[in-house]
């Protein structure tokens, strides 16, 4: 009954009388009133006026396999072969890795409304509240050497960056190697993990967390985190952004597979990288020092310049931050 009431409201530009709903669905006014309250509890904004009826003003930003698949179809991309939606999960990466061992196919997209143990780089946690963010993992099984797997973090970052620019209008940038930032604050994090044998990949999972409609953040990350809502003052449909990211990633992934490196993508990546030609703080386990970030190379390593000498920095070995803060 709830879905039928919702359909009536969605297909009307004006108020729908309680009497009309009762007659079309064969229910009592009390039943209609209860359904309206239930819909409001789920986040639907419904106006009610005596002698006029009910009018749907806005819908909550819900996620489902059907909604995500529909958004992918709107982008005219068939890259994703299977969509999995989970209302709650410990971590989409953890779920995807486990499911991959039991036959989950290549190019499966695992999404969740909320994560209870979201994973970040270097074992850090990732804030994952329900109803406002994107938490997704793309499962891939490419025929590339295991040493090349970590490079896919960079095309994923490019895809998020371009999708956010296109859909929200915010000038998102990449903080090498795996964060997307805006106005000096983090809006997205990416975590790539792999299962492999000596010379072949079983699967790769690319976890992507995007702050979309977050109105605020916990005190401990408030100074370094932001969302599309906070940057623009407008909410966005998460399914649209998910589809946008996948459409952009399809393009970059296919380009990557031509050479199994970033030689065809590095010029565009460097143009999106906020670190380019900026002073950074390189933090190693045993030391830290200032340098100038110049660009990435074909393998996605960061080329830095220190005292006139250029060197490469591996993402798995160090952290790179701005000299005066996070960026």
Q: Over the stretch 147-193, which tens digit does the pLDDT of each residue have?
A: 999 999 999 999 999 999 999 999 999 999 999 999 999 999 999 99
Q: Is residue 207 part of a domain?
A: yes
Q: What is the mean pLDDT of residues 11-36?
A: 92
Q: What is the CATH number of the domain that holds 175?
A: 3.30.930.10
Residues 79 and 222 occupy one common structural domain = yes
Query: Quick check: bond before 177 cis, omega within 30?
Result: yes
Residue 215 CA to residue 44 CA, distance in Å, equals 18
Residues 54 and 72 occupy one common structural domain = no
What confidence score (pLDDT) does residue 317 get? 65
| 8 Å CB contact between 140 and 148 | no
Identify which of 61-70, 79-88, 307-316 has the greatest average pLDDT. 79-88
Lowest mean pLDDT among 6-20, 121-135, 137-151: 121-135
Q: What is the mean pLDDT of residues 201-229?
A: 93
Tokens matching residue 69: 């698949």
Residues 234 and 304 occupy one common structural domain = no
Q: Is residue 262 part of a domain?
A: yes
**For all residues of the chain together, what is the average pLDDT?**
91
Residues 206 and 158 occupy one common structural domain = yes
Tokens matching residue 115: 């994560």
19, 38, 58 - which closes a domain: 58
| 8 Å CB contact between 79 and 105 | no
In the block, residue with structure tokens 């190019």: 107
Question: Between 170 and 43, whose confidence is greater?
Answer: 170
Residue 171 CA to residue 5 CA, distance in Å, equals 40
Q: Is residue 102 part of a domain?
A: yes
Residues 93 and 240 occupy one common structural domain = yes
33, 58, 83 - which closes a domain: 58
Question: Between 156 and 321, whose confidence is greater?
Answer: 156
Residues 155 and 109 occupy one common structural domain = yes
Residue 231 CA to residue 17 CA, distance in Å, equals 39
In the block, residue with structure tokens 């406002």: 132
Q: What is the CATH number of the domain that holds 34?
A: 1.10.10.10
| 8 Å CB contact between 4 and 26 | no
Residue 214 CA to residue 133 CA, distance in Å, equals 7
Residues 154 and 253 occupy one common structural domain = yes
Residues 266 and 279 occupy one common structural domain = no
- Number of independent structural domains in the chain: 3
Q: Is residue 327 part of a domain?
A: no
Residues 146 and 237 occupy one common structural domain = yes
58, 82, 97 - which closes a domain: 58
**298 alpha carbon, distance to own chain's centre:** 25
Q: What is the CATH number of the domain that holds 289?
A: 2.30.30.100
Parent domain of 93: 65-271
Residues 69 and 154 occupy one common structural domain = yes
Residues 134 and 167 occupy one common structural domain = yes
Q: Residue 139 carries which DSSP code?
A: E
Residues 102 and 250 occupy one common structural domain = yes
Q: What is the mean pLDDT of residues 285-299?
A: 93
pLDDT at residue 118 greater than cutoff 60? yes
| 8 Å CB contact between 245 and 77 | no
Q: What is the mean pLDDT of residues 302-308?
A: 95
Q: Is residue 95 part of a domain?
A: yes
Q: Is residue 305 part of a domain?
A: yes
Q: What pTM value is reported for the model?
A: 0.82
What confidence score (pLDDT) does residue 324 get? 59
Q: Is residue 43 part of a domain?
A: yes
pLDDT at residue 122 greater than cutoff 70? no
Q: Is residue 248 part of a domain?
A: yes
């Amino acid at each position: 009954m709830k879905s039928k009431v919702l359909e009536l409201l969605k297909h009307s530009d004006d108020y729908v009388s309680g009497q009309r709903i009762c007659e079309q669905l064969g229910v009592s006014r009390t039943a209609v009133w209860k359904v309206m309250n239930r819909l409001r509890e789920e986040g639907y904004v419904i106006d009610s006026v005596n002698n006029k009826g009910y009018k749907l003003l806005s819908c909550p930003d819900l996620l489902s396999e059907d909604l995500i698949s529909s958004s992918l179809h709107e982008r005219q991309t068939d890259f994703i072969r299977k969509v999995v939606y989970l209302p709650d999960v410990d971590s989409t990466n953890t779920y995807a890795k486990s499911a991959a061992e039991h036959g989950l196919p290549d190019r499966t997209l695992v999404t969740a409304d909320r994560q209870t143990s979201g994973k970040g780089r270097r074992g850090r946690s990732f804030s994952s509240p329900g109803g406002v963010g994107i938490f997704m993992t793309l499962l891939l099984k490419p025929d590339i050497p295991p040493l090349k797997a970590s490079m896919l973090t960079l095309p994923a970052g490019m895809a998020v960056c371009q999708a956010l620019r296109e859909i929200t209008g915010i000038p998102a940038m990449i903080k090498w190697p795996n964060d997307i930032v805006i106005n000096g604050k983090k809006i997205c994090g990416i975590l790539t993990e792999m299962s492999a044998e000596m010379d072949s990949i079983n699967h790769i999972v690319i976890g992507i967390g995007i702050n979309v409609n977050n109105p605020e953040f916990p005190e401990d990350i408030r100074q370094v985190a932001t969302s599309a809502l906070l940057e623009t003052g407008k909410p966005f449909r998460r399914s649209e952004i998910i589809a946008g990211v996948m459409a952009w990633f399809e393009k970059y992934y296919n380009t990557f597979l031509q050479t199994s490196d970033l030689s065809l993508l590095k010029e565009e990546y460097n143009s999106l990288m906020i670190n380019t030609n900026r002073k950074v703080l390189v933090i190693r386990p045993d030391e830290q020092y200032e340098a100038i970030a110049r660009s990435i190379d074909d393998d996605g390593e960061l080329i830095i310049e220190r005292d006139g000498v250029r060197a490469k920095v591996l993402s798995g070995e160090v952290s790179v931050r701005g000299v005066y803060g996070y960026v």
